[in-house]
Amino acid sequence: MSEGPDERIEVGEGRRNFLKIAVAGAAALAVGGAVGYYAREGEVTALKKRVEELAAQVGVEVGPVLEENLNIYNWTWYANLALVEQWAEENNIHLVYDFFEDLDTAISTITTGAAQYDLTVISDNEAQELWEGGYLREIDLDKIPNFKYVPEEFKGLPYDPDNTYSIIYSYGTTGIGYNADFVPEGITAWADLFEVDNPDSVIRRHAGKVTMMRDSTETLAAAAIYLGYDIDTTNESELQRIADLLIAQKPYLYGYVQTEDYMNELPVGQRYYISHAWNGDIAGIVYASDEYEVYIETYYDNIKYVVPEEGAVVWYDNFVIPKNAQNIEAAHAYINWFLDPVVSAIHTITIKYPYPAGLKYVPVEIKNDPMIFTPSELADRLYLGRALTPEERAIREQYWNMVMTA
């Protein structure tokens, strides 16, 4: 299992065949395990273990000389940790898998330069701001052969056209989640949440039962989309209208809440049942996902997610290597392992966020769930944020504070 790079080139062909077999086998097991979950709950653990074993074998494929340590900094609930821990064990890496709970803290930690993380996950425009600021190290794609499994539409995205500094981790949209038990008529558009002058609008009929995100970027963007502005507008008269709209909406809201809050409340529906939300979090509720377990059956069928007609924010999270990283080889190896189709597929099945490289081996139920894999026909109404300067953010924050303290 510890072939050097040279040997790997020689046996490349055979290896690839093995890889195919392993991949197919593991995928079959993953699906089988999932199906088995319905019938024989007890066996799913054993099946999962075999999937992991196979995946780990595939993972060793990367194998050049790795450092002994690897410090990863990632969101909570964003990878199957059992699998990650096993990878570290197989590669004799002392892995520190650290969590952050919001991107702002993570970025501050990285940019001050004190903490040394080797690999972290940062979203699109923020990644651009980081590499433009010189905080990221170039990624050596030669060391990541599995990059070829990344579908073309996730390569060379606008924030990093040549994948010099970033490689896709996951992606999704910010739309509206709701509990269909309480909103049988459904929700289709931002207008449902912003037409406060129309007494028959969703927000008026469900006054006090709607939440927006307590996140300035997302909530300002939602209002901007409804008004037909650029989501990252810094035009003060536009921002003023956005603020006015949000202030007009405020009396009809339950409040501005955080992920943890709506994830717990939506299924119950007592405090509120319509939330401005991230798709993967809603999927997380629907499948009651867990970072150590593979669940594939839906748990709360009454929770729906919609990408509004007017459009929505799309975001891409990316692997990036901070400038002051120490364990570069191991970081590359981890990315390569993660991009392995089977590994990505298992992470997707577990967490219910889409890891694009694994699309092929994800069970049909999940692959076809628009909540998890955003359908490509929506592409023309999705808006990607752009990099902002601190001054631009300061202006936006000013209007956000106006809404918050209104």
Partner 1 sequence: MNVADVIRRSRRLKLFIFIGIPMIYLLIFFFIPFLIALLYSLGMFKQVVYQYHFVPEPSLEYYVGLSKYPGIFKAIQRSFYYATLTTIGTLLISYPLAYYIGVKLEERYRDLAVLVVFTPFWINFLLRVYAMRFILHEAGMVNTILRLLGIITEPIRFLGTDVAVIVVMIYSYLIFMVLPLYGVLEKLNVELLEAAYTLGATPFRAFLKITLPLSIPGILAGSLLVFIPAVGEFVIPELVGGPNTTTLGTIIYSFFLRVRGVTGWGIGSAAGLIYIAMILVASYVYMRFVGGEVRLG
Partner 2 sequence: MKLFDKILKAYTYTVLALIYLPIVILIIFSFNESRSKVVFTGFTLENYYSLIGNYRVWDSFYNSIWTGAVVTVVSVVLAILMAYGVSRYEFSGKTLIDSIMLIPIIIPEIVEALTLLVFLVIIGIELSPYTVIIGHVAFDISFAYVVVKARMAGYDPQFEEAARTLGADEIRAFTKVTLPILAPGIAAAALIAFLESYDDFIKTFFTRPPGFMTLPVYIWNMASRRGFPLDLNALATFVVAISLIFAYIRNRIERRVY
| Interface with partner 2 (CB under 8 A) | 71, 73, 75-77, 96-102, 105, 108-109, 112-117, 258-260, 263-264, 284
Instruction: Pick one of partner 1, partner 2, none as the site partner of residue 254 (Cβ within 5 to 8 A by kind).
Output: partner 1
Residue nearer to partner 1 on the CB measure, 58 or 246: 246
Residue nearer to partner 2 on the CB measure, 288 or 404: 288
Q: Which two tokens stand for residue 296?
A: 């594939």
* Residue 402 touches partner 1, criterion: CB under 8 A: yes
Instruction: Pick one of partner 1, partner 2, none as the site partner of residue 255 (Cβ within 5 to 8 A by kind).
Output: partner 1
* Cα distances (angstroms) measured from residue 273 to each of 6, 208, 220, 270, 319: 58, 10, 21, 7, 34
Contact 122, 106 (CB under 8 A): yes
Q: How far is the CB of 274 from partner 1 (least distance, A)?
A: 16
Count CB neighbours of 367 within 10 A.
16
* Residue 104 touches partner 1, criterion: CB under 8 A: yes
Write the Ramachandran bin of 141: left for phi over 0, alpha for psi from -120 to 50, otherwise beta: alpha
Instruction: Pick one of partner 2, partner 1, none as the site partner of residue 391 (Cβ within 5 to 8 A by kind).
Output: partner 1
* Residue 200 touches partner 1, criterion: CB under 8 A: no
- Compute the distance between CA of residue 150 and CA of residue 376 in angstroms, rounded to an integer: 15
* Residue 404 touches partner 1, criterion: CB under 8 A: yes
Among 271, 360, 381, 386, binds partner 1 (CB under 8 A): 271
**What DSSP letter does each residue of 68-128 carry, written as one string?**
SEEEEEEETT-S-HHHHHHHHHHTT-EEEEEEESSHHHHHHHHHHT-S--SEEEEEHHHHH
- Compute the distance between CA of residue 141 and CA of residue 138 in angstroms, rounded to an integer: 9
Instruction: Pick one of partner 1, partner 2, none as the site partner of residue 99 (Cβ within 5 to 8 A by kind).
Output: partner 2
Residue nearer to partner 1 on the CB measure, 37 or 278: 278
* Residue 111 touches partner 1, criterion: CB under 8 A: yes
Question: Pattern of binders to partner 1 over 29-68, x per CB under 8 A?
Answer: ----------------------------------------
For 240, the 3-state DSSP assignment is helix
* Cα distances (angstroms) measured from residue 265 to each of 140, 205, 254, 257: 44, 19, 12, 10
Chain positions 206 to 235 lying near partner 1, rule: CB under 8 A, are 214, 216
Give the residue carrying structure tokens 């009651």: 288
Helices first, then strands: H and E counts in the chain: 16, 11
Instruction: Pick one of partner 2, partner 1, none as the site partner of residue 229 (Cβ within 5 to 8 A by kind).
Output: none
The closest of 23, 2, 129 to 66, measured between CA atoms, is 2
Residues found near partner 1 in the complex (CB under 8 A):
104-105, 107-108, 111-113, 133-135, 214, 216, 250, 254-257, 268, 270-271, 323-324, 389-391, 393-394, 397-398, 400-406
